[in-house]
Structure 1
Amino acid sequence: MKYIENSLKNKTILITGGAGFIGSNLAFYFQENHPEARVVVLDSFRSTELLSNGNLKSFGHFKNLIGFRGEVISGDINDKDLLLNLETNYKFDYIFHEAAISDTTALEQDLMIRTNVNAYKDLLDLALKHGANMIYASSAATYGNALSPQRVGYESPQNVYGFSKLCMDNLSREYMGKSDSKIVGLRYFNVYGAREYFKNTTASMILQFGHQILSGKNPRLFENSDKILRDFIYIEDIIQANIKAMNPKESGIFNVGTGKARSFQDIVDILQNELGTTLPCEYIPNPFVGSYQFHTEADISTTKEALGYEPCFEMEEGIQAYVGEIRRIYEQEVKK
């Protein structure tokens, strides 16, 4: 779906984290809907480098970009020489900043702040020098255990990832109004959809439950999963919000969710209906009681007003749209 009608001819777009989940979806959105735009993807791509928790440092994967015809750069946003090259040899009109250390269980606070906050400041400086609009990924993790519905201005991060994203938002506010460049932070809630598989264990529970069911295993849920609710948002609505944030009425920080909380039990029930299975659920004790969000729900009133954003996918529709890809990934990546 094309979310803006104006031409992007002679416009140059930078997507950081462009081999990741959301970044790669943005790259293909522009290729399919605005082929007249020049799209440059920057990603550090995955290596064997691990965080201390055993997870990969970078989730970017070349398979997310198979079929993409734009320019691809391998590089780390912490690299000052790389940023100088981008400043000198390009003239960006829009920067979509999706690159981050996004593992919420990462213990490396120094790396998290350096990558998510300090490098973002360098990219903001680049945006202002180029007169580019900046659209960047913030996160619902900024809210921590704040009461639902979560509203901008009522944050209480519970991990260094959420703290780093809140620092980004605070930094953005300092830059807003310093030039003609617009700066928009989008606080993503629980995103699911195509090209998330290479996030490994941090991929959505929708994908993980789907693969459990396809493998014939009983879905394993925490006890009282019908009472654990999240604002799950399909990737197409995330892309819509990003595109509508390109030329906003005003700079700002905005929630991107559906505005509706759904349970983990709902996910399994919808998946089983779509996959034609009736596997019994197994319920296990929740080891995260006390450090676990039991209810998230985005207040999207200001997002609708400022960006013209309107979520199009209920969970039933999102899973229905996604289930073919869940099957394909299972056959081509999981079973092999």
Structure 2
Amino acid sequence: MRYIDDDLDNKTILITGGAGFIGSNLAFYFQENHPDAKVVIVDSFRSGEKLSNGNLKSFGHFKNLIGFRGEIISGDINDRDLLLNLELNYKFDYIFHEAAISDTTALEQDLMVKTNVNAYKDLLELAIKHNANMIYASSAATYGNAASPQIVGREAPQNVYGFSKLCMDNLSREYMQNSNISIVGLRYFNVYGPREYFKNTTASMVLQFGHQILLGKNPRLFEDSDKILRDFIYIEDIIQANIKAMNPKKSGIYNVGTGKARSFQDIVDILQRELGTTLSCEYIPNPFIGSYQFHTEADIASTKEALDYEPKFEMEDGIKAYISEIKRVFEEEVK
């Protein structure tokens, strides 16, 4: 689906984190809908390097970009030489900044702030030099345990990831006041959809439950999962928000969700209907009580106003659209 009528011929678009989940979906959106735009991807790609929690430092994977015909650069956004190369050898019109240490359980505060905050400032300076509009990934993690609905301005991050994203937002507001480019921060809620598999254990529970069911295993949920609610949003609506943020009515920080909270039990029930299974659910004690969000729901009024954003996918629609990909990944990567 094409979300803007703008002519992007001869425009150059930079996507950082372009081999990741959201970045790769953006890359293919442009390739399919604006084939005459030049798309440049920067991604550090995965290596064997791990964080202290045992998770990979980078989730970027070449398989997310199979079929992509644009330019791909392997590099780390913390590398000043890389940023200088981008500054001197390209002229960007739009920058989509998706690269980050995105693991909410990461303990490396120094790496998190360096990568998510300091490197972002360098990219903002690049955007200003190129007169390129900036669209970047913020996060609902900025809200921590704030009461629903989550509203921009009522943040209380509970981990260093959420803190780093809030720092990005604060930095952005400062630049909004002193630059001529548009700057839009998008606070993603719980995203699911194609090209997330290589996030490993941080992939959505939609995918993880789907694969449990396809393996014939009883879905395992925390006790009272019908009362644990999240704003789950399908990747297509994330892409819609990003594209509409290219030329917003107003720079700002905006929530990107559906505005509706759904339960983890809902996910399993919808998956079972789509997959034609009737497996019994197993309920286990929730070890995260006290450090766990039990309800998230995005207030998207300002997003609708500034970006002309309107979510298209209820959870039933999103899972239905996703189910064939869940099966394909299961056959090719899991089984």
Aligned to 2:235: 235
Q: Report the equivalent of 1:85.
A: 85
Aligned mates of 1:224, 1:308 — CA distance in 2: 36
Q: Tell me the CA shift for residue 269 of structure 1.
A: 0.1
Give the equivalent residue in structure 2 for 1:97. 97
Show CA shifts across 1:64-95 (max 9, x none).
00000000000000000000000000000000
Residues 81-113 of structure 1, C-alpha deviation per residue, up to 9 Å, x if partnerless? 000000000000000000000000001000000
Once the two structures are superposed, the pairs formed by residues 225-264 of structure 1 within 5 Å of their partners are 225-264=225-264
Q: What amino acid maps onto 1:295 in structure 2? A: H
* Displacement after TM superposition at 1:52 (Å): 0.5
SS in 2 for 1:146: coil
Post-superposition offset of 1:180 = 1.8
- Decide whether the 8 Å contact of 1:259 with 1:300 is kept in 2: yes
1:302 aligns with 2:283: no
Identity in percent: 85
Runs (4+) of structure 1 exceeding 4 A deviation are: none
Hey, what's the Cα distance between the residues in 1 that align with 2:323 and 2:262?
18
Question: What's the counterpart of residue 178 of structure 1?
Answer: 178
Q: How many residues align structurally?
A: 335
Amino acid at match of 2:191: V
How far did residue 300 of structure 1 move?
Answer: 0.1
Corresponding residue for residue 36 of structure 1: 36
Q: CA deviation at 1:210?
A: 0.1
Q: What TM-score, normalized to structure 2?
A: 1.00
Instruction: Answer yes or no: is 1:108 the counterpart of 2:111.
Output: no
Residue equivalent to 1:8: 8
Query: Shift of the alpha carbon at 1:178?
Result: 1.9
Cα contact 1:9–1:37 (8 A) shared by 2: yes
Match of 1:163 in 2: 163
Q: Give the corresponding residue for 1:279.
A: 279
1: CA distance between counterparts of 2:8 and 2:114? 33
Question: Does the 8 A contact of 1:15 with 1:98 survive in 2?
Answer: yes
Q: Which is worse superposed, 78-87 or 171-180?
A: 171-180
Deviation at 1:179, TM superposition (A): 2.3
In the alignment, the residues of structure 2 paired with residue 186 and residue 284 of structure 1 have an alpha-carbon distance, to the nearest angstrom, of: 34
Q: Which residue of 1 aligns with 2:314?
A: 314
SS in 1 for 2:233: strand
1:144 aligns with 2:144: yes
Give me the whole-angstrom Cα distance separating, in 2, the residues matched to 1:178 and 1:37.
29
Give the 3-state SS of the residue equivalent to 1:186 in structure 2.
strand
Q: 1:99-132 deviations in whole A, cap 9, x for unaligned?
A: 0000000010000000000000000000000000
AA partner of residue 119 (structure 2): A
Q: Which runs of 5+ in 1 are unaligned?
A: none
The equivalent of 1:133 in structure 2 is 133
The answer to whether the 8 A contact 1:131-1:179 is kept is no
Gaps of 5+ in 2: none
SS in 1 for 2:171: helix
Task: Report the Cα distance in structure 2 between the residues aligned to 1:112 and 1:6, rounded to whole angstroms.
Answer: 36
Question: Aligned-pair distance for 1:177?
Answer: 3.2
SS at match of 2:331: helix
CA RMSD of superposed structures (Å) = 0.4
* Paired residue type of 2:64: N
Aligned counterparts of 1:126 and 1:177: Cα–Cα separation in 2? 17
Paired residue type of 1:258: T
Give, in angstroms, the shift of residue 253 of structure 1.
0.1
Please give the alpha-carbon distance, in whole angstroms, between the structure 2 residues aligned to 1:271 and 1:261.
Answer: 17
SS of equivalent residue, structure 1 residue 176:
helix
